[in-house]
């Protein structure tokens, strides 16, 4: 009875321990009582001891000063660089060696040919005089400032255009305005490109094998000294006219060449002027050489015994071609490009050796080439029948270009007329009302229909 009353009126029951079978509260049964955290006071806290930091990474990397590279690297970190660096050094060494080799070869050529050039021309190489400054003119006067030695530009016989191409220049000679010489060498500084060019030329005819050559081009005066020679004053212009009054530097234009047979096909395909000639073997020339000419009389006048001897001495390995021409290299596209420009071209292979004696066989031919304009002025005057035949070929080409030019101009005039008609039509339509515009367009359609019917009737 006592227990019942306690249960009804909230009497306390003795606590019973949690059974082990009660799974819902098993995790909290043995949990300890929480302990309150003491508050942190920065004023009373003890200072932290100066202890070194311990890296948290598990790889064991050591962190040091930025410049102490040897303490955080090892040779195995540079294996890829060890493999690449020798190839880089080899490429740099080949590049330096190739450029120096090409420069030595170009200098050996100019050393062998400079005496001949200086003997034939007044100015050889790139040099001259600079213009005086304004301060020098004001302080010393124009005449004294212009004559100053400090304005002289040192002469440079050879100029490096690229690592494989060198040029030189000569002027100051009767019958010749100037001579340009271009020396083309192997790409020794880039052996991989050189090997690729050789390989491709073996399989493809359109790709030419690399060769080392000298190509000299002489531009003749042809009676135009007053137009080509620059004179600073009227007095010198008068003196020039008096000096050239009795001189004759013109000759009849033609296309004529002595060619190594290995280069005949290439020259005919690449040069428009050579395509105008006819190839004929000459009994006095070596078997490996041939003549390309517009007329047999031209060959008789220009193929001298001296030239035959020099071509034979130069040999098949060195001689490429000797061309006398007044026509452009590329096929002319306009009438202005058909104007004759007389010039001479000599092309020779360079020997593999850089010794001065290596040019002994070709030096006489080069000297003859420089004097050849004198021979042309003296002998290249042909009979009227031959000159008419040569001019007829050029007139045919000029006639074709003139016809094409007239057709292009007619087309331009037609387009211009169509544009004007269209502008007039649009201006007329803008001034009309909608009904008038419809009537105008209807009349246009009717006219177009009648035109088409007439065309169909004519075809039928």
Instruction: Quote the tokens at residue 240.
Output: 């020039």
What is the SS3 assignment for 209?
A: coil
Instruction: Quote the tokens at residue 179.
Output: 């001579």
Shortest CA distance to 223 belongs to which of 256, 176, 164, 261?
176
How far apart are alpha carbons 167 and 181 in whole angstroms? 6
**Contact in structure between 352 and 103 (CB atoms under 8 Å):** no
Shortest CA distance to 146 belongs to which of 228, 233, 225, 229?
233
- Helices 384-430, 434-459: axis angle to 10 degrees equals 140
Instruction: Quote the tokens at residue 189.
Output: 């500084």
**Contact in structure between 363 and 113 (CB atoms under 8 Å):** yes
> What are the φ and ψ backbone dihedral angles of 54, each rounded to 5 degrees?
-105, 125
pLDDT of residue 441: 84
Torsion angle of alpha carbons 287, 217, 213, 322, nearest 10°? 0
**Contact in structure between 218 and 344 (CB atoms under 8 Å):** yes
> What is the model's pTM?
0.70
E strands present in 230-352: 256-260, 278-280, 289-293, 319-325, 343-349
pLDDT of residue 392: 87
| Element (DSSP H or E) covering residue 214 | strand 213-220
Query: What region does 172 belong to: left with phi over 0, alpha with psi -120 to 50, or beta?
Result: left
Q: Which mean pLDDT values do the consecutive 10-residue runs of the chain (460 residues) have?
A: 50 47 48 52 47 50 72 83 92 93 93 92 76 61 56 69 93 90 93 89 84 94 72 62 69 93 91 91 93 92 94 94 93 85 94 88 95 91 89 85 85 88 83 82 84 75
- Helices 363-379, 305-314: axis angle to 10 degrees equals 160
β-strand 176-184 against 213-220: which pairing, if any? antiparallel
pLDDT of residue 28: 47
pLDDT of residue 49: 46
Shortest CA distance to 186 belongs to which of 97, 88, 319?
97
pLDDT of residue 425: 83
Burial 305-325 (b: 16+ CB within 10 A, else e): eebbebbbebeeebbbbbbbb
How far apart are alpha carbons 132 and 50 in whole angstroms? 77
What is the SS3 assignment for 153?
A: strand
How far apart are alpha carbons 49 and 43 in whole angstroms? 16
How far apart are alpha carbons 263 and 277 in whole angstroms? 14
How far apart are alpha carbons 64 and 58 in whole angstroms? 17
């Amino acid at each position: 009875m006592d227990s019942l009353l306690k249960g009804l009126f909230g009497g306390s029951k003795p606590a019973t321990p949690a059974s082990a079978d009660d799974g819902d509260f098993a995790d909290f049964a043995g949990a300890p009582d929480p302990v309150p955290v003491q508050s942190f006071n920065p004023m009373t806290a003890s200072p932290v001891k100066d202890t070194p930091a311990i890296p948290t990474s598990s790889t064991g990397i050591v962190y040091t000063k930025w410049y102490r590279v040897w303490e955080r690297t090892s040779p195995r970190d540079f294996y890829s660089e060890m493999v690449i660096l020798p190839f880089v050094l080899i490429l740099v060494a080949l590049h330096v060696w190739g450029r120096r080799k090409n420069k030595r070869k170009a200098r050996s050529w100019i050393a062998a040919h400079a005496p001949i050039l200086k003997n034939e021309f007044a100015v050889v190489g790139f040099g001259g005089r600079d213009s005086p400054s304004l301060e020098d003119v004001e302080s010393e006067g124009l005449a004294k400032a212009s004559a100053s030695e400090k304005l002289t530009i040192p002469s440079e016989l050879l100029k490096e255009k690229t690592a494989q191409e060198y040029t030189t220049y000569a002027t100051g000679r009767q019958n010749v305005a100037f001579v340009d010489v271009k020396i083309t060498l192997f790409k020794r500084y880039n052996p991989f490109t050189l090997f690729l060019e050789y390989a491709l030329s073996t399989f493809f005819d359109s790709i030419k094998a690399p060769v080392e050559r000298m190509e000299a081009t002489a531009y003749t005066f042809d009676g135009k000294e007053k137009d080509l020679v620059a004179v600073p004053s009227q007095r010198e212009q008068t003196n020039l006219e008096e000096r050239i009054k009795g001189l004759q530097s013109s000759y009849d234009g033609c296309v004529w060449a002595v060619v190594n047979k290995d280069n005949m096909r290439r020259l005919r395909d690449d040069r428009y002027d050579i395509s105008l000639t006819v190839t004929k073997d000459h009994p006095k020339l070596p078997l490996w050489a041939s003549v390309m000419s517009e007329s047999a009389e031209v060959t008789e006048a220009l193929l001298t015994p001296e030239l035959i001897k020099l071509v034979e001495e130069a040999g098949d390995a060195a001689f490429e071609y000797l061309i006398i021409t007044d026509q452009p290299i590329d096929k002319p596209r306009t009438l202005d490009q058909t104007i004759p420009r007389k010039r001479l071209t000599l092309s020779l292979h360079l020997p593999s050796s850089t010794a001065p004696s290596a040019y002994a066989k070709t030096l006489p031919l080069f000297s003859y080439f420089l004097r050849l304009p004198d021979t042309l002025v003296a002998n290249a005057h042909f009979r009227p029948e031959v000159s008419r035949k040569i001019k007829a070929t050029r007139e045919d080409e000029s006639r074709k270009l003139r016809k094409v030019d007239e057709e292009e101009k007619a087309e331009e005039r037609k387009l211009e007329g169509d544009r004007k008609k269209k502008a007039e039509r649009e201006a007329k339509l803008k001034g009309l009302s909608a009904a008038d515009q419809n009537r105008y367009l209807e009349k246009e359609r009717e006219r177009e229909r009648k035109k088409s019917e007439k065309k169909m009737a004519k075809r039928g």
